[in-house]
Chain A
Amino acid sequence: MRDRLTLSTLGPLAALFALILLGAGLNENFLSAANVTNVLARSAFIGMIAVGMTFVITSGGLDLSVGSMAAFVAGMMILAMNALQPSLGVGLPLALAGIGVAILVGLLAGLANGLLITRAGIEPFIVTLGTMGIFRSLVTWIADGGTLSLDFSMREFIGPIYYGGILGVSWPIIAFAVVVVIGEVVMRHTRFGRYCEAIGSNDKVARYSAVKVERIQLLTYVALGLLVGFATVLYVPRLGSASGSTGLLWELEAIAAVIIGGTALKGGFGRVWGTVVGVLILSLIGNILNLANLVSPYLNGAIQGVIIVLAVVLQRRKSSAEGR
């Protein structure tokens, strides 16, 4: 089941190119550097999370909590930075402290999910449905139902993490690209990636083949938590705030991107670059609908829904025709 350039792998790519052509035809600013940067940078959060989600889903798991987790991590990061500001002052140490807190909280949140699933043996759907509610309520509670805002001077200081860049390429895009390359290499060229696919295909056989199933699964959730942490590090500098509505429905967008990209929802086969295509497709739909007044804005959600279903249907039909 290795990837070859068949129709089924080309499906999502074709859809992406069709969208790009459509966008370019509808608005001349679509391909401008500013718009391309906007779309790629805003894809970076969900994109990084979706790469982690690809591994979780490939190994037969699921994580519904990532959106709430991102909100919670963002809340903790802001809270920690505001609390440390009097002692550390505005500057690099405080920024690093905030980044450290975000990554640590993400890691621990992922670990909690992973341990509940692998050690306590509870269904991933149930565990992460539970933690989804827990993380979201915690951030609403911490924020007193309002919005947690980073101190203004500190926001100015860390703003460049989102808005800055090198050679005209902004940091979120670079970080996203690095995560994708690492993800693709791990999935295709390491034992870990192969174990994920083996467990997702048939965990019993994997276990009989001396694969440490629980440990691999735990690692996928920890890695996903870590990536949520990284994504939050990029997210917080953008607006410098977190609230109960931060990261709403990110989990579904990430899962949709993974599935559009050709990873099997029931596990056993993962495609990291496909996930990237999926994320870009979802971002572009929103972008194009904003740029061109094609339909009533009430119908934006419907258009996205149609394209998600269509992308998967095309893929499945082609792949079954090839006997996969």
Chain B
Amino acid sequence: MKRRQLFGATAALAVMAGLAGVAVAQDKTHVIGVSIPSATHGFMGGLNWHAQDTIARLEATYPQLDFVLATAGEPTKQVADIEDMVATRNIDALVVLPFESEPLTGPVKAVKDAGKFVTVVDRGLSVPGIEDLYVAGDNEAFGRVAGEYFKANLPSGAKIVVLRGIPTTLDNERVDAFEKAIDGSGIEVLDKQHGDWNRDKAFTVMQDYLSKYPKIDAVWAADDDMAIGAMAAIEQAGRKDEMWIVGGAGMKEIIKRIMDGDPQLPVNVTYPPAQISTAIELTALKYVSAAPVTGRFIIGSTLVTPENAAQFYFPDSPF
């Protein structure tokens, strides 16, 4: 059980940042603030882990870089975190994954106006052009890649059910892209209910799907936590051989089963929580190299198959 660093790392960070602020600030040290939502579910847990992991590594590699990491459970707290970073830690750059776009747009713009380098991750701000660097996963491709797999592997007239996430724009983009991709294939979507990216909720919804529909050929669970809940319900109903499931995001347990060639889980679609690492690394590059790092960096959603699964497997990550 690696319950590692949490206390250690934050304490060390706080101490270092405190020292750095006083002693080293004049010494060409650059401070990068990282503000992300707290680990409330599997994906964010993975994202938090990758953020801490990357920061620890970069601090060891580049003594001239200092990092301030703050996690927030809600937008108001995140705004306060960012204001504190500018006011008390004198950051040079901000890497931010906005909890919600609207409430964070103003505060992040203020940081930009104060002359800081701004990297926005995953969720865009509501006003374009504020950020210097934008790093994100591809929600459209996330739905499309899954849809293309369904289209290629199911006959016309096949019946599928869909588990949706928490009602958000992001979820809509994924589902729309999925439906567009299977359009014209003759695949019938029997139902699409919200499983809220939650195992228990997905278990319940899947149980009800199974009561309602005598024949289901495949399930698009759109998230690996939901895939796990759905699999338990299918197993309970004794209908394991009837359908396969495609989850998403690349949870290590699921990737492992794809590596092992589980017929129930043929493929997966990535939406990597490690995108925060990409964002932090690129931002750090600005201060340690001459590489230009402004612009947009969209991380593709790739189809994970038994053949390539090994490269998506991170056994140490909590996700």
Contact = CB atoms under 8 A, between A and B. Distances in A.
Interface centre among B46, B167, B203, B318 (most CB of A within 10 A): B318
B41 A42 contact: no
Contacts of B167: 298
Interface in A79-102: 79, 82-83
B316 to A, nearest CB: 10
A147 B204 contact: no
Contact of B198 (A140, A245, A298): A245
Interface stretch (B91-99, B142-150, B224-232): B224-232
Interface in B210-245: 210-212, 225, 228-229, 232, 236-237
B237 A34 contact: yes
Contact of A143 (B45, B199, B229): B45
Interface string A238-249: 110101111010
Describe B's contact surface by its main secondary structure.
Answer: helix
B211 A38 contact: yes
A274 B44 CA distance: 40
A144 interface: yes
Contact of B41 (A27, A29, A238, A243): A243
B42 A147 contact: yes
A297 interface: yes
Interface in A213-238: 238
A290 interface: yes
A151 to B, nearest CB: 12
A182 B236 CA distance: 30
B200 interface: yes
B280 interface: no
Nearest to B193: A297
Contact of A146 (B4, B39, B210, B237): B39
Chain A's interface size range is 35 or more
Interface string A138-149: 001111111101
A245 B212 contact: no
Nearest to B164: A297
Given A27-B212, A290-B205, A290-B208, A140 B49 contact: no
Nearest to A240: B232
Given A38-B208, A286-B204, A145 B225 contact: no
B204 A290 contact: yes
A171 interface: no
Interface string A154-167: 00000000010000
B152 interface: no
B26 to A, nearest CB: 36
Given A241-B199, A298-B167, A145 B208 contact: no
Contacts of A304: none
Interface in B185-208: 191-194, 198-200, 203-205, 207-208
B67 interface: no
Describe A's contact surface by its main secondary structure.
Answer: helix
A42 B236 CA distance: 13
Interface in B274-319: 317-319
Interface string B44-57: 11101100000000
A250 to B, nearest CB: 10
Nearest to A36: B211
A291 interface: yes
Nearest to B44: A145
B211 A35 contact: yes
Given A38-B207, A239-B232, A146 B42 contact: yes
Nearest to A45: B200
Contacts of B28: none
Contacts of A246: 200
Interface in A278-297: 286-287, 290-291, 293, 297
B253 A149 contact: yes
B14 interface: no
Contacts of A243: 41-42, 45, 199
B178 interface: no
Contacts of B48: 145
A149 B46 CA distance: 15
A202 interface: no
A146 B40 CA distance: 8
A248 B225 CA distance: 15
Contacts of B211: 27, 29-30, 32, 34-35, 38, 291
Nearest to B209: A290
Contacts of A35: 208, 211
B39 A147 contact: no
A306 to B, nearest CB: 18
B41 A244 contact: yes
B39 A244 contact: yes
A149 B39 CA distance: 17
Contacts of B203: 238-239
B213 to A, nearest CB: 9
Interface centre among B192, B207, B208, B232 (most CB of A within 10 A): B208
Interface centre among B199, B211, B229 (most CB of A within 10 A): B211
A144 B49 contact: yes
B6 interface: yes
Q: Which 9 A-B pairs have the closest CB atoms?
A: A145-B39, A146-B318, A145-B45, A290-B208, A146-B45, A144-B318, A35-B211, A29-B211, A38-B207
Interface of A: 27, 29-30, 32, 34-35, 38, 42, 79, 82-83, 140-147, 149, 163, 238-239, 241, 243-246, 248, 286-287, 290-291, 293, 297-298, 300
23 contacts: A42-B207, A141-B6, A142-B3, A144-B6, A145-B39, A146-B42, A146-B45, A147-B45, A147-B318, A149-B253, A238-B232, A239-B228, A241-B199, A241-B228, A243-B42, A243-B45, A243-B199, A244-B39, A244-B45, A246-B200, A248-B198, A286-B204, A298-B194
